[in-house]
A and B are shown apart, each in its own frame.
Chain A
Amino acid sequence: MKTSREKAKEICTKSQYGEATWWEILQLNVYLLFYKDCAQFSAKNSKLTSLCEQANMQVISEEDKEAMKKELEKQL
């Protein structure tokens, strides 16, 4: 069973991707009022989002990685 704090933190993560429902956002705002650690977590979570955007990272697709692995295995 998740505690209210854990639930609030999960909603906070969901809201970083704009996928929290209005009801979840309402719940989150209530939690933020009462739990200081949730507010700190929320601030850090937002910072992580902005850092990820700022870094402009890219990844190799899983498909390409699988192809790379096969090529590498041939050499092993």
Chain B
Amino acid sequence: MTRTFPTPAQDTENRMKTKEYIRPMPATWFLHNRHLVVYAIRELTSFFVTGYAIFLILVLARTNHSKSDFRAFYESVLRSRASLIVHLIVLAFVVFHSTTSFNGMARVLVVRRGEERVSPTLIAILNYGAWLVVSVLIFVGVIVFK
């Protein structure tokens, strides 16, 4: 049996047939750098925002039952210590979500005043100011008109 060797052209072609390199990306990639950890926490806040939106549907649905049903829900769920703890945890993540959104908006939003770009810091300050005003107005509105 005679052994055949590839021609130089075939040899080059064979060596060129390599697989596309896909950089391995471990699932823990975000633990390698502090900025990535902050990024990962920011992304994690989306679960809390979504979860709380679903919880609000449940709260609203409870108002479509009788008032005694709603009272029972208020006493057993909203007045429980577990609810307070969960609400404080959700609040912490949602506030973090708000701050990263305000900072992000300030960087992304390009506002010009004449020829000059309005400083992102000023836009961020305006975002925080508007957030404070809206929150205080709602809080006072709820307390005063309850």
Partners in one complex: no
